[in-house]
Each structure stands twice: as C-alpha cells, then as structure tokens.
Structure 1
Amino acid sequence: MKNLIITLLLLFQINLSWAIDEEPFDISQPAKIQEANAEFVYKFLLAEIAAQRGDLNSAGHLYFDLARLTKNIPLAQRATNIAGYARNGRLALDSAELWRQLDDSSLEAKQILAELFISSGNLAKARPLIENLLILEKTRAEGFLYLNNLLTKVENKKNALRFILAVARPYPALAEAHFSIAHTAYFAGDLKLTENELDIVESINPQWETAALFRGFIMAKDWPEKALEFYKSFLNKNPKSNEVRLEYAKTLTSLKRYVEAKKEFLKLVDGSLASPEISLTVALLSLELNDNLLAEKFFNQSLERGYSQQDKIQIYLARIYNKRGDYKKALSTLDKIVSGELFVDAKLLATEIIAQNESTDKAIESLSIYKNIGPSDKLRFLQAKTSLLINNGRQQDAFDLMRSEDKNYADSAAFKFDYAMLAEKMDNLLLMEQLLKEAIKIKPDFALAYNALGYSYADRNIKLADAKKYIEIALSIQPKNHYIMDSMGWLHYRLGNLDIALKFTQKAYAIQKDPEIAAHLGEIYWKKGKVDEAKRLWKESLTNNPSNTVLNETYKRFN
C-alpha cells in the first residue's frame, strides 16, 4: 500500500512530506503547506479508485479540489480530462481555467478552455484565447481549420459567423482564414458570403483541394451537373488531385453515369488513394455495367488489400462464378464463410445454386445439416426450403412441410404469415384467415398481415367493411408502403369509389411499377372510360413482366 501511494504521488510530482491547509484559494498566493496530511492522501486515493470504477464525476471533483489546494498542474490537467470524459461541462470549464491559471504558457490548456467556451456558446470568453493562439504563425493555418469543426457545433450560427469574421480580420492574406469564414457562412445560411470568400481562397491558393472539395460539395447538393463541371475543370488544371477525382467519380455514380465513373475510379485504384474500398467500388460499378471479368479482378484486389468485410466480397464472387457456369467454384467460395453475419446468407445462396445446377432435394438436404443455429435463422432456412419446393412446382410438398413445422412456431408471427400465404395458394382460405388473425394477435403492429387479410376480402369482393378496417390499420402503420396503397385503391374500386381508387393506385404505381399494381390501375382506367390509357399501361408492363399471371389474366379479360 505504501509503495502504491508513493508511485501515485510521484506521478503527479507531489512531495510526500507536505499537504495543504484548506484555506480560501487565491492563485496569486503560494500554496501553504504543512506536514503530511492523511486526509489529502485519502482523497487522492479515493479519486483514483473512483476513476477506475467509472465514477468519473466524483473522480473529477476530487482531482479538481486537490489541484486547487495544491496548485498542482498535472492534477488540474487530470481533472480537466476526466471532467471531459464525464461530459461535465461546468467542472471541465472550472478545471481548464485552473489549469490555464497555473500554467499560462500551456497552449493545450488555452486550447481546451477555448473549445469549452465555444461548445457552451460563450464566444465572448473564447475570443481572446483564440486570438492569442492564432498569433503563433506556425499553427495559425491549422488553427483556422480546427475552428471550422468547433463552430459547426455552435447553435447560434449567426453568432459563430460574427465570431470568425472578427478573429479572421487580421489575416487578409491567409487562405485558411477566408476558408473558415466561407465554411461558417455556409452553415449560417449566407451563401453569397460563402461564394465570395471561396473566390478569395481560390485567388490566394488555386490548387487547394480542401477548398475545391467544399465548393463542389455545396454545388452538388442542388446542382450536381454544375458540380461535375467544376470538378472536371479543377482536375484539368490539377490532374494529380486524387481527393477531388474521388468526389468527381462519386458524383458521376450518383447520377448513374457509370461508364464515366468507372474510368475515374480506375485512375484512382492504383494511385495515392488506393484502398480496398476504392477497389470494391470499381468492382461494383463493373457489375452494374455487366463487366464480370473486371468485377472479379477488383473484388479480388479488394480482398488482397484487406477489405474488412471479406465475406461480403466472397458472396459477390460466388454469384459471378455461378453466372459464368462454374457452380462448383461458387460453392467452394461460399464454403469460406464459416461464421458471422453473412453465414446464413451464404448458405441460402448455396442452396439456390445447388437447386439450379443439381436438384431441389439436394438443395434442401444441404440445409438440413445445420442444427446449432438460432430460431430466426431456422425460420429463414424453413422459408428457403418452402420457396425451393414452390419454385419446383411442388406446392403440396411445401404446404405439408409448413404444416409439419406449425407446432414449432406457435409464437412466430412471421411463420404464420408465410404459412397463410401458402394456404392461400392452396385455396385453403379459411386456414389463411385463421393464420393471419393469429399473426396479428402475436404482433399487433404487423402491417403486412392486416393488409393481406384486408386485400383478400377486397379481392374476393366480400366483407368489404372488414377489409377497409384492416387496410386502414395497415396503412396507419406503414403509410408509404405501395402494396398497402394498392390494396386501399383496390378496395375503393370494389366499393365503386373510382376517383379515390385511382388516387391510391396511381400513387402506389409511382413508387413501384409492380405488374399487379399495373393490372389494377389499368382496370380502374378502363372503368373510368380511359381505355387507351389502360391498354398502353398493360402493354408497357407486359413488356417488362411477360409471365406475370395477374397481369396476363387482366389483359386477356378486357381484350
């Protein structure tokens, strides 16, 4: 215990022979000390123990009290740091102020105190400290850039702008000072001042990437095409500006100009910004452009460069191999994923590949070997098995499988919903209704179950009052769900409210050009006498969805 006390006190340069009289604190007076004080040692150890146990508020107050009494700089610094970790603003300010008073030459103490004043909105007290720090020429430019981060956190953006205008005034030839004004003006909503200051920055330092990136960022928010022109112009003058090229490539991608974006990313992929993320981006763009060979190359490069989510890339590669016809390589690639978040996804993809290339039964058998998985993953495996059977035309086998598992999922709303949808396919509508009601009972906010039940009534033109009630509940839970909007439109069609039906169904189709929504919308057009519009819509949707049963049946019924 004695050795511990000696070690801790030496760490803070406190003489074991002395302690402090507890008299009122006066920074101008030297500390009054007397022989060893057990209470001092006790408080010191108590502060350390509190800090180790996570009671940072108590530790911070104890260190501040000890620093105030001993006028010890390391203790004041420790009190400041601990108060910061504890997010105790008042204590942090008091401790930092004490630290600055004890060591007026400490730039760190002044910087932290200025930060605390700014974060609390007290810019008047921060200003002399900041001005004092900016006097030092070697750190001035960096200081202005650091101020940008601090001032974005000030709630009153107009005050922040007035503050930066004042502290930047003595430095009219410094690009960073004008950039700080531009940055603060932007967040204060003064776009004219932002543009003017960025123009000054460009006249002082036309090659500065940070300023170019900020100007491009502002343009891209409202005028992405204008941002592209700016980036391109900057790159023509500064072809080695990789940061700007990266933003140029990203903006091209956001505008779906994938061919041009890929060219720019390829320029970056082996440059100074080369990273696994850049390689991955090139791979994904290549996939979008159906260039699987190039995608494979850069997926592998991303792996070699140490991309953190390697399983994600293995899944992409497996899809490429399978599409190429090398399904065994696809499966061996997926076998590399032995745990983690994508383990189940990998196994489900493997079953799809086995079903495509071997047989449905082998695919289902491949899932049956996994026993030690959680309930949610077991359900996903079951859903995959039933889907494989349905896609193989074996609806009865799928139904029998779900029925055999019913007792294992008595409390699963998701299982009951899936079972209900399969029961509907088997024309077992009573079972479907029962299962959907059970799902709703388990999960009262299950929008899809309410919608399925309401739509089933509306589609069969029965219990329309109940249908309306269920669909309204579904829509209140998921007001932007296009399938639920379509159900509400179809219900109003059944009720004869064609204008309301049209409104809901048009809105649904605008969100998602689904073939079944197209079938409904076309029928509503037809009933409203807009026959040509109905035919045009159906033909357009059939071009993209030639095998959709509902759409084909609707088109034949009216033609």
Structure 2
Amino acid sequence: MAHLKTLPLCAALLFAAACSQPGVKASQPVAVETQGQQPAAAATDLEAEAEAQARAQAQAALPKQPLTPDILFKFLVAEVAGQRGEMGVAQATYLDLARQTQDPRIARRAVEVSMFARDQAGALEAARLWAAAEPASERAQQTLAALLLNEGRLDEAEPILRILLQENTANGFLHLSALMGKLRDTRAAQELVERLAADHPTLPEARFAVAQAAAAAGRPEAALAALQQADELRPGWEPAALLRAQILAKTSGPDALAFMRDFLARHPAAREVRLAYARALVNASQFTEARAEFTRLTGDFPRNAEVSFAAGLLSLQMGDVEVARDLLTQTLEYNPRDPDMVHYYLGQVAEQMKQPEVAAAHYVEVTTGNYLVPARARQAALLARAGRLDEARALLAFTHGENDAQNVRLIQAQAELLRENKDHAAALDVLSAGLKRFPDSADLLYDRAMVAEKLDKLDMLEADLRRVIVLRPDDAQAYNALGYTLADRTDRLAEA
C-alpha cells in the first residue's frame, strides 16, 4: 500500500498552528528555509533585514486563518490517513480544508495529495483554489495550467499560459514542451504554441517552442522552418542546432552528421553540439572521427566521466591501449555512473598489455550489472590459462547471477572453459546439469548439441536442436546445424 510522505506529527502540529500565528513561515519545512543560508557570523545586518522583510511580506500576503478545533482536527485526520496509506481519506479531507480555509498552503497540499492519489478532478479543483488564493504565485499558475492541459482543456489553459509567458517569456517558452508533453492531440498542442508564439515574433525561444511542438506533431518540415527562423534570430544557438540534428537524424543519419559538421565549422566552441556529433559518429561506426572528437571534448568537458570513457573505449578499439588505459583510469576518478563497466574495460586493456594480474584485479571489482558474467568469464579464463582450471571452474560455479539469464550465461561460460580444454565429457555434464535448472533454455540446448556432436552423441544432438527450433522457430543457426549434421553424419540426406 502506498503511503504519503509527511512531516513528523510535531511538525504537522506546528504547520497547523502557524495558520493563526504571524511571523512563522509555515509554507516550507525548516530544512528548505535554512538551505544555503550564510553562517550567522558572516551575515550582514542589511542581509538580515532584507530577509526579515521578505518573510514579513510573504506572511502578510497569506490569509489570517484562525486555528479552530475543526481545522486542527481535519488537518490531523488528513496527515494520519496519509501516513496509513488511506489516500482517499487524506485527499478528501485536504480538499475539504482547502475549500473551507481558502489558504494557499493547504490548497497546495491538497493538490499534492490528490495527484499522489491519482485523483485528477480533485487535483484540478485544488489547483484552482490555490491559484485563486495566491494569484501572484508562478508555481500555482503553472500547476493549474499543467493540470488543465492534462485534461485537454486548452482553451482554459491558454490565458493562464499567456500571463505566465508575459512574466517569464524566454524561460517560459523553453519549458512549454514539458507542459505539452502529455497532450494526446499533438496537432492541437502545436496550434496552441503557435498562437502563443505569435505574440513574440522576434524571440528565438518562441520559434524553438514552435519547432518542438511541430516535431511532436509529426511535422518535421514545419519544425525545421521554425528552427531556421530561430537561427536567424540567434545564430549559433546550440539548443536549436541540437533539435535540428535530432529531427534530421530520424530520416537521414548522414544529413544530421553533415549539418553538425557544418555547424561546428562555423561555431567551433559549441561543445554540446560537438558532444552530440561525437555520439552520432559512434552510432555511424565512424570510429576514427569519433575518437578525434571525444579526445577534443576531454578538454572541453574536464573531469567528465562520459567523455573520458568514450575516448578511452574508442582508443581501445583502435589498439591504442596505453592511451585507453590512461583515459579509463581517469574515468574512475570522475565518479562514473557505472564503475563496474569501467573496470571491465580496464581489465580488457590489461589483457592486451599482457598484464594478467592487473586484468584479474579489475575483473574482481566488477560485482554487479551487465558486466558481471563477462568479467567472471575472463577471470576464469585467466586462471585456466595459468593452469588453475579447478579454481576457474569453482569461480564460475559459485558466482550467483542477478537473474536467470545471467545464471544461464555462467553455465555456458563454465562449459566453454571445459571445451577449450578439450574436456567435452565434463562440458556435457555441466550443460546437462544446467538444463535440469533451466529446461527451456534454448542457449543451453544448443551448446549441449554442439558438445554432443564432439562426443558422437547424434541422437542427443538431434533432440536438442529440434527442441531449440520449437523454442525459437526463427533460429537459422539451429536449422543449419541440424541440416548439416543430418547430411554429413547420417544417411538421411533427403531429410536434411
């Protein structure tokens, strides 16, 4: 059962009491109110006075709501219900309190609880109360507009959006796409954005918003035309260039690459476009050019894990292992999102540099995720190469995958290790034991069929391959293996 995040009971009581006590900033918890403040010793008298005035003005704008026993009781009922996961009770009580008090703080809380309870109608009513009680609040108006848009009520949202755009024009247009994102009628959303943008013909952000809406509506030509206008108003603007490249890439990867290449020739300092260009080069398998761009980006984005990792991986792919080692080692210092992946590739680098101990040390560091099985397989291979086959098998046997797919791959890795050491009988035993755990694993069945062929167990091979074909009817490899075996190893050529 879902539970509502609430303040402790004492904090809830303080919130309720604040409705009748001036001088207490009840609309935010204490942690938010103090965040980022200077130490008292460093604060000037002027700063303290300004802060006090701001608090007083904010408090003065709030309604002077008397704290009656009824209000306090309802507040406690709502909070306790939320803590217990009784969202219907919490939502209904908060909405009733918002109607009764017309207090923007309570109305805002009613919006939050209604949205948590997935009550769109209640959230919209509470948002109307909040916006009416606090008309100067940009957040209240944004929330109301977003909820109206979610309900498809564009006509009601439009005047609110116009006011918001007048107060915060450039940033407002940049955030319009997020507000429009849930609209099912993308063409109506585009028309609304075009109407709003018509009031700001010389604002590049307005043309950018039109382009986003047109792209979402499946009208790339209109989007590109709006982006051309944005570029004329603000040449070299990276957000517009990135959106143009994204639109072009949907129909022609080469066109997107050509555009970004030309843009960078005119605006070489556009590092976000250069990063997108480098990624696109990788996707296009143009690795030499991609490496050059990522290497340049290591200077543009110092201590950036993604950039240094990409440059290191491309260097590894091109055989420049020392540069790859240095870049990947730096990546670990930059707090990468997936250190296990970085350690895995550092292990690969060390293997290429004929440093098995270093490689094994990196593979040991891989403890989770998609690289767990490949790392353990490489560890085991290094042990086997050093004549420690029993240790290698034990390592794989006692490694526990995070899911069935990983456990199947661990069984395959152990069997492959034995096959490489020409112990096909032991490999067959490992795969047969694995099939007792995972009887419908097409991968294990195929591998066992290949081992059975080495041991002249053609009946087992045929049975396993036919089972693979049942499990994966489009598996061309299984069909080919079965046909080849029937033709080459039996007298059933016609059947093959």
Q: Is the pair's TM-score, using the shorter chain for normalization, greater than 0.5?
A: yes
8 Å Cα contact 1:168-1:177 kept in structure 2: yes
Q: Deviations over 1:139-185 (max 9, x none)?
A: 20100111122223211122112211211111111111111112212
**Identical counterparts, % of pairs:** 29
1:382-393 equivalence runs, <5 A: 382-393=411-422
The answer for the alignment partner of 1:208 in structure 2 is 237
3-state secondary structure, aligned to 2:175? helix
CA apart distance, 1:69: 0.9
In structure 2, distance between residues paired with 1:315 and 1:273: 23
Choose which of 214, 222, 233 in structure 2 pairs with 1:193: 222
Q: Which has the higher contact order (CA 8 A, sep 6+)?
A: 2
Amino acid aligned to 2:455: M
1:167 and 2:167 correspond = no
Amino acid aligned to 1:130: L
1:94 and 2:107 correspond = no
Change (3 A) 1:339 1:175: closer
The answer for the alignment partner of 1:103 in structure 2 is 134
CA apart distance, 1:346: 2.7
3-state secondary structure, aligned to 2:361? helix
3-state secondary structure, aligned to 1:269? helix
The answer for the alignment partner of 1:155 in structure 2 is 184
1:221 and 2:254 correspond = no
Change (3 A) 1:289 1:181: same
8 Å Cα contact 2:278-2:294 kept in structure 1: yes
Choose which of 106, 110, 129 in structure 2 pairs with 1:75: 106
The answer for the alignment partner of 1:453 in structure 2 is 466
The answer for the alignment partner of 2:160 in structure 1 is 129
8 Å Cα contact 1:12-1:75 kept in structure 2: no
In structure 2, distance between residues paired with 1:41 and 1:63: 11
8 Å Cα contact 1:152-1:184 kept in structure 2: no
In structure 2, distance between residues paired with 1:338 and 1:89: 43
The answer for the alignment partner of 1:482 in structure 2 is 476
8 Å Cα contact 2:65-2:103 kept in structure 1: no
CA apart distance, 1:271: 1.4
8 Å Cα contact 1:268-1:274 kept in structure 2: no
CA apart distance, 1:266: 0.8
The answer for the alignment partner of 1:267 in structure 2 is 296
In structure 2, distance between residues paired with 1:183 and 1:146: 11
3-state secondary structure, aligned to 2:276? helix
CA apart distance, 1:112: 0.8
CA apart distance, 1:382: 4.8
1:416-495 equivalence runs, <5 A: 417=445, 419=448, 421-431=450-460, 452-453=465-466, 471=469, 473-475=470-472, 479=474, 481-483=475-477, 486=480, 490=483
8 Å Cα contact 1:51-1:59 kept in structure 2: yes
CA apart distance, 1:41: 3.0
1:289-328 equivalence runs, <5 A: 289-328=318-357
Change (3 A) 1:41 1:426: same
The aligned length equals 440
Change (3 A) 1:229 1:302: same
Q: Deviations over 1:349-383 (max 9, x none)?
A: 11111223435445335556x48889967765554
Change (3 A) 1:76 1:420: same
Q: Deviations over 1:174-210 (max 9, x none)?
A: 1111111122122223333223221211111002100
In structure 1, distance between residues paired with 2:163 and 2:82: 33
CA apart distance, 1:252: 1.5
In structure 1, distance between residues paired with 2:426 and 2:65: 89
The answer for the alignment partner of 1:351 in structure 2 is 380
Amino acid aligned to 2:16: L
In structure 1, distance between residues paired with 2:348 and 2:113: 51
The answer for the alignment partner of 2:14 in structure 1 is 7
In structure 1, distance between residues paired with 2:247 and 2:271: 19
Runs of at least 5 residues in structure 2 that lack an aligned partner in the other structure = 1-7, 23-62
In structure 2, distance between residues paired with 1:84 and 1:365: 52
Choose which of 100, 103, 114 in structure 1 pairs with 2:145: 114
Q: Which of 1 and 2 has greater Rg? A: 1
Q: Deviations over 1:368-423 (max 9, x none)?
A: 6x4888996776555433322221222234345667x58x9467444973555533
8 Å Cα contact 1:80-1:92 kept in structure 2: yes
In structure 1, distance between residues paired with 2:84 and 2:115: 16
Change (3 A) 1:273 1:161: farther
CA apart distance, 1:333: 2.5
8 Å Cα contact 1:352-1:363 kept in structure 2: yes
In structure 1, distance between residues paired with 2:245 and 2:291: 20
> What is the root-mean-square deviation of aligned Cα atoms in Å?
3.6
